[in-house]
Structure 1
Amino acid sequence: MRASSPQALGSGILFTYPQIATIAGVQGLLVYALSSALPLLVFGALGPIIRRKCPEGFVLTEWTRQRYGVVGGIFLSLCTLITMFLYMVAELSALQQIVNILTGLNGLPVVIVECAVTTVYTSLGGFKVSFVTDNIQGTMVIGLIIMGVIAVGVETDIDRSLIEQSGYLDASLLGWQLIYILPVAILSNDFFLSGFWLRTFASRTDKDLWIGVSLASAGVLIILTLLGVGGMLAAWSGAYTIGDEANGSVAFFLLLGQLPAWVIGVVLVMTISLSTAAFDSFQSAMISTASNDFFRNKLNIWIIRAAVVALIFPVVVVALRSPDILRIFLISDLVSASVVPCLVIGLNERFYWYRGFDFVVGGLGGIFTIFLFGLVYFDGDAGLAGDLLLLEGGLYTEDWSVFGAFVAAPVGGLLWAFGACALRIGFLWVVARLTGRRFDALDRPLPASFGSPDAFDEHDGEAVLAPGVTPDNKGRFF
């Protein structure tokens, strides 16, 4: 993992972080920036564990398949693909809006050109090309920040009376809610970004991994905080009207609109380069995940290249609707908050009896619990409960609905998972009693080195073979 290339640093950050600043002020911005940066350290902590458990893997779904079986692996793959699809949509939607705002022109031609260029070199070069463009991405981000800070510092006049009027320096209800919402949302969602795992597995040593994620975390924190401050500066300079929630996502660009034309031109070029570097990472990660998880890398290279091309069309169609970028991210966050807590239970060896069935039921149950919470919160209104799943009200509601949804997702998921586990074990016990077969639902799985003397396994010696039990090192769904 390279410090200069966090996968999520696409052009969407130019919308979301300034928008949070206009909604929840300094409190919300700092929480958002810390919640985006600190979870990168999780890859340094969990990466070595998962690499030891699955030394031949290169993405999280590979370990999931090994631990939970084929069905569990496919379930996580689907969640991962949905998340990356949403990120690709957000990236193109952001680019289209940026071009339109900064130039007044239709952003569609730029979107089409970017898709064509990234599709060509991604289909030909694969993920290796993405590592190269990561360096471009990091350079563009740093250049954008440096130039933006200098230009804004020289050209922008702050109306001090607007500072107190904005209330951005004060705490707020949403700001306090975000202290829980954003860490849960972003930490769990990072698990679904295959690009992070590809870089984690590609690191040479655990030490290199820790150095990479530490530098990346520090760099991301600084970059995102500076970008978010642009939202507040837009309000304090009068470029953005305080309280105008409809235009909060474009606050940064309203600030840029006060700068000389040449600055806007350079920013536009840097932004397109940034967007291209982020978009190709999602493209290659999505195709790699699908090829590995569904076809076990047995597809002909030309089929893979055709898949890269075919993927672009639905992404562009959805992106052209230009939905709220922050809302897209939050929808994927709700899914990940439901699934990931049920997933990581399997990392603990004490839960060796936990199976893929429990994981899948828990993940789906967490999503369903959000709907159930909505029914209770909105007095049985199924329509509003359904809207909560898609966060139709955004993050701007001055109530506890969004907060409750992010509580219901992980808590509900875990309750469903352990409930399914108890039901499954009880059912297998009854079947064993009725058929006279041995009840083995609570047996420890065999170590990976059984039948493979040269294989390393950190838990060798813990499993005991009972008479008549055959070795099976694969993950079991039931």
Structure 2
Amino acid sequence: YAALLVSGLAIGWFVRDKATFLSANGTQKAIPLSFNFIASAFGCGVLSTYAQVANLTGLQGLLVYAITGGLPLMLFSWFGPIIRKQCPHGFVLTEWVFQRFGTSTGLYLSACTLLTLFLFMVSEIASLQYVVSTLTGRSALPAIIVECVVTSLYTAVGGFKVSFLTDNIQITTVFALIVIMCGALGHYVEIDRSKIPESGLLEANLVGWQLIYILIVAIFTNDMFMSGFWLRTFASRSDKDLFIGCSIAAFVATCIAVLFGIPGLLAVWMGLVEVGDEGSSASLFIILNTLPNWVSGITLVLTVCISTCTLDSLQSAMISSISNDIFRNKINIMWCRLIVVLIMVPIVVVALKAGDDVLQIYFIADLLSAAVIPVVMLGLSSYFYFLTAWEVICAGLGGLLSVFIFGTIYYGNARDGGKLLLIWNGIYGGDWGCFAAFVVAPGGAFLFAGITLAIRLSVLKIHSIYTGTPFTALDYNPELVNLDYVEPETNSSDRPADAEDGKSKDSFI
């Protein structure tokens, strides 16, 4: 922690710049960008979550989880250029939403984004608590407090730029941890080959098939909420750099996820853990207890480094979102630094009290995004130019309401229907509840969006008939959805004569 604090403060001091405290648009090439995407995708929670999935769903579930965890990074290479063209001065998704749907939708999406970041920071602190207490047998509270102080200090000094640079430290640490783990497991671990077919972990299973849909919807939509990914998307120097960086990151992230999940299989084949064991998330640490102490020691140090770098990325993303979405970048930079410190208090409290199941925390955030994001992203298409804040907000709330209604009917009571919103039984509850929740959330969102649109258009049409005013609800507005539209320069003297209307992209450039 001391080394990370000193290096973080040093980096933050040398790169401190008000202009790049919240973002660093157009500064990063492909390779550094790929490292930053990979680092943002992994915290110390990977040491437990992937092993848990492997134990409960076998190799099939692990591969599905790994692939659906890596491929969504490609979304930013597809949607990023479109959003950067429509909103060139932004650095998070909500800025485009403000421009496309208005203030109310922007604040609504910002609240969802901040809640998602809050949950991910809770899960990171909870993961650190789990790792430290499991490996050392001691209370993790001192380590948590020190880590929060360290990251808050150097993030407050350097902002997003220092977070970007510490990502390189984080990914280097991840690679080092993988090398040490693979070497130690390959040298010291002995498995009982007769347990491989008996375990059934190499066979297909129902939950594994369910995960194909659940994780595609969950992770693909949830990544859209992650401001850290959008900050890195806008930081790319060009669309080509963004595509190359995302491609490398997607492939490497998938491979890393598989490697971190393998201990979940090995622990069963070593006879240390049973299939479906509630403590399967500790598979790696149970194996480490059978290895020399130096392996556990190095793993602990590297895990702390990974957690620290992940936490500073989440802090940076949250403060950028708060500054941009709530205060519209009009507050003094000192207030931003103060917010970084204050937000850690409730996060630590919640993580210590309710952070027992990290995987459940992830799925709560995923269900929220599955209800909110699909209709929002329709706004990128010119075919849906008629969508407004009414449809987007009602769709998200309607999607969550649909899950509650379904859960009430499916389980026969409202209490269990409410629990389904929190994925109370996990994804391994032995029923179709979780799977259906991720079907109903986006489906209900689209249904409520359609109903809201029909009501809005009907009311406006009736109003138009009775008042004699023009019906403009379906009029096309190129400023909102046309990719060829370019916002005119504020200084008209700098604009060419043929670009006065601001509609010719090529001539304007």
TM-score band w.r.t. shorter chain: over 0.9
How far residue 311 of structure 1 moved from its aligned partner, in angstroms, is 0.2
Residue of structure 1 equivalent to 2:465: 433
**Cα-to-partner distance string for 1:46-81 (whole Å, 9 max, x where unaligned):** 111111111111110000110000001111100100
Q: Which amino acid aligns with 2:447?
A: L
Change (3 A) 1:25 1:444: same
Count of aligned positions:
460
Partner Cα distance (2:138, 2:402) in 1: 44
Distance in 1 separating the partners of 2:149 and 2:109: 29
C-alpha deviation, 1:316, in angstroms: 0.2
**Which residue, 376, 394, 397 being the options, matches 2:429?**
397
Map 1:8-157; keep pairs closer than 5 Å.
8-157=41-190
Equivalent position of 2:27 in the other structure: none
Distance in 1 (CA, whole Å) between partners of 2:488 and 2:427 is 53
5+ residue gaps, structure 2, are 1-29, 480-484
Tell me if the contact between 1:53 and 1:457 (Cα under 8 Å) persists in the aligned partners.
no
Residues 369 and 408 of structure 1 are in contact (CA less than 8 Å); yes or no, is this contact kept in structure 2?
yes
Cα distance, 1:277–1:458 mapped onto 2, change above 3 Å: farther
Task: Report the AA paired with residue 454 of structure 2.
Answer: A
Residues 488, 502 of structure 2: 8 Å contact kept: no
1:228 to 236, 261, 275: 261
User: 8 Å contact 1:137–1:277 — kept in the other structure?
Assistant: yes
Q: Distance in 2 between matches of 1:329 and 1:339?
A: 16
Query: Whole-Å Cα distance in 1 between the matches of residues 181 and 146 of structure 2?
Result: 26
Tell me which residue corresponds to 1:213. Answer: 246
CA RMSD between the two structures: 1.8
Q: How much has 1:161 moved relative to structure 2?
A: 2.0
1: CA distance between counterparts of 2:194 and 2:414?
45
Partner residue of 1:422?
A: 454
- Which string of whole-angstrom CA distances, capped at 9 and with x for unpartnered residues, describes residues 388-429 of structure 1? 111111121111110000000011101111211111111111
Give the TM-score normalised by the residue count of structure 1. 0.93
CA contact (8 A) 2:488 2:501 kept: no
Asked if the contact 1:25/1:170 (under 8 Å) is kept, the reply is yes
Cα pair distance change 1:199/1:165, threshold 3 Å: same
Gapped regions of structure 1 (runs ≥ 5): 463-478
The equivalent position to 1:241 in structure 2, one of 266, 274, 278, is 274
1:291-315: CA deviation from partner (whole Å, max 9, x where unpaired): 1101111111221111111101000
Aligned twin of 2:35: 4
Look up the SS of the partner of 2:34 in the other structure: coil
The residue number in structure 1 matching 2:418 is 386
Q: How does 1:425-464 map onto structure 2 within 5 Å?
A: 425-447=457-479, 448-449=485-486, 454=495, 460=503
1:184 aligns with 2:217: yes
Q: Aligned AA for 1:119?
A: S
Distance in 2 between residues matched to 1:52 and 1:140, nearest whole Å: 35
- Separation in structure 2 between the aligned mates of residue 50 and residue 141 of structure 1, nearest angstrom: 31
2-side partners of 1:459 and 1:218: how far apart? 40
Conserved in 2, the CA contact under 8 Å of 1:449 and 1:457?
no
Question: Is 446-455 or 199-208 further displaced after alignment?
Answer: 446-455
AA at the equivalent of 1:254: I
Distance 1:22 1:39 in 2: 24
Deviation for aligned residue 1:258: 1.3
Instruction: Give structure 1 regions of 4+ aligned residues with deviation exceeding 6 angstroms.
Output: 455-459
Q: How far, CA to CA, are the matches of 2:458 and 2:165 in structure 1?
A: 52
* CA shift digits 1:156-200 (9 cap, x unpaired): 110112212211011111011001000110000000000100110
Residue of structure 2 equivalent to 1:305? 337
Does the Cα contact within 8 Å between 1:119 and 1:309 map onto a contact in 2?
A: yes
The alpha carbon displacement at 1:242 in A equals 2.8
Match of 1:239, SS state, is coil
Secondary structure of the residue that 2:35 maps to in structure 1?
A: coil
Deviation per CA, 1:61-116: give whole Å up to 9, x if none: 00011000000111110010000000000000000110010011101100000000
- Aligned match of 1:472: none
Aligned to 2:376: 343
Q: Contact 2:487–2:502 at 8 Å: present in 1 too?
A: no
Q: Percent identity?
A: 49
Cα distance in 2 for partners of 1:326, 1:140 equals 23
Q: What pairs up with 1:348-367 in 2 under 5 angstroms?
A: 348-367=381-400
CA distance in 2, matches of 1:373, 1:409: 10
Q: Distance in 2 between matches of 1:415 and 1:17?
A: 34
Equivalents in 1 of 2:451, 2:500: separation in Å? 30
Using the TM superposition, give the Cα deviation of residue 450 of structure 1 relative to its aligned residue in structure 2, in angstroms: 7.1
Query: Secondary structure of 2:41's match?
Result: coil
**Range moving further from structure 2, 272-281 or 370-379:** 370-379
What is the rounded CA distance, in whole Å, between the counterparts of 2:362 and 2:196 in structure 1?
29
Q: Is the 8 A contact 2:486 2:504 kept in 1?
A: no
